[in-house]
Amino acid sequence: MYIFPVLKGDKHMFGSSDIGVDLGTANVLVYVRGKGIVLQEPSVVAVDKESRRVIAVGSEARRMLGRTPGNIVAIRPLRGGVIADYAMTEKMLRHFISKADGGQKLLFRPRVMVCIPTGVTSVEERAVRQAAIQAGAKEAHLIEEPFAAALGAGLDVFQPSGSMVVDIGGGTTDIAVISLGGIVCSNSLRVGGDKLDEAIVKYIRREYSLVIGERTAEELKIGIGSACPQGAEDVSMEVRGRDMISGLPKAIAVTRSQVYEAIKETLGLVVGAVKGVLERTSPELAADIVNKGIIMTGGGALLDGIDRLLSRETGLPVYIADDPLSCVARGTGRALKSMGLLSAVDRAKKLKRIFNWPVFPDERGASEKILENYVDESS
Ligand code: ADP
Ligand code: MG
pLDDT value of residue 1: 34
pLDDT in tens, 279-325: 999 999 999 999 999 999 999 999 999 999 999 999 999 999 999 99
What's the rounded Cα separation, in Å, for the pair 164 and 11?
37
**Where do the domains of the chain lie, and which CATH numbers do they carry?**
12-42+80-148 (3.30.420.40), 154-190+270-324 (3.30.420.40), 193-263 (3.90.640.10), 338-373 (no CATH)
16, pLDDT greater than 60 = no
For residue 279, report the distance from its CA to the centre of ligand 1, in Å. Answer: 27
Alpha-carbon distance of 119 to 97, in angstroms, equals 23
Q: Which residue's CA is minimally distant from atom 7 of ligand 1?
A: 27
CA of 300 from ligand 1 middle (Å) equals: 5
Between residues 348 and 50, the one the model is more confident about: 50
Distance (angstroms) between ligand 1 centre and the Cα of 345 equals 31
CB 184 within 8 A of CB 360: yes
40 CB neighbour count, 10 Å cutoff: 18
Report DSSP letters for 66-114, one per residue. Answer: T---TTEEEE-TTGGGS-S-HHHHHHHHHHHHHHHTTT-TTTSPPEEEE
What is the structure's pLDDT at 8?
Answer: 35
pLDDT at 34 over 80: yes
Q: Which residues line ligand 1 (CB under 6 A)?
A: 24-27, 169-171, 192-194, 218, 221-222, 298-300, 302-303, 325
For residue 222, which atom of ligand 1 is closest to its CA? 24
Ligand 1 atom nearest to 167, measured from its CA: 6
pLDDT at 231: 82
In residues, how long is the chain?
379
Residue 257 has pLDDT above 90, yes or no: yes
The residue nearest atom 8 of ligand 1, judged by CA position, is 169
Q: 79 CA distance to ligand 2 centroid (A)?
A: 12
Query: pTM of the entire structure?
Result: 0.86
Ligand 1, pocket-test mutation among 120, 198, 221, 330, most atoms within 8 A of CB: 221
pLDDT digits (tens, 9 = 90+) for 71-124: 888 889 888 777 778 888 888 988 998 888 775 545 578 889 999 877 778 888
Tens-digit pLDDT profile for residues 137-189: 888 999 999 999 999 999 989 889 999 999 999 999 999 999 998 899 999 99
Question: Quick check: 203 pLDDT over 50?
Answer: yes
C-alpha–C-alpha distance, residues 224 and 106, integer Å: 47
Considering only residues 378 and 216, tell me which one the structure prediction assigns the higher pLDDT: 216
Q: With CA atoms as reference, report the closest residue to 264 among 252, 256, 254.
A: 256
For the beta sheet containing 236-243, the strands, ordered from the edge strand earlier in sequence to the opposite edge, are 210-211, 236-243, 249-255
Please provide the average confidence, as pLDDT, over all residues in the chain: 85
Tell me how far the alpha carbon of residue 366 lies from the centroid of ligand 2, in angstroms: 33
Return the residue whose CA atom lies nearest to atom 12 of ligand 1. Answer: 299
Give the pLDDT mean for 215-225.
96
Q: What is the pLDDT of residue 369?
A: 41
- With beta carbons less than 8 A apart as the criterion, state whether 229 and 260 touch: yes
Contact 105/111 with Cβ under 8 angstroms? no
**What is the rounded CA–CA span in Å between residue 268 and residue 276?**
12
**Which ligand 1 atom sits closest to the C-alpha of 28?**
4
Rounded distance from Cα 339 to ligand 1 centre (Å): 28
Q: Collapsing DSSP states into helix, strand and coil, what is residue 116?
A: strand
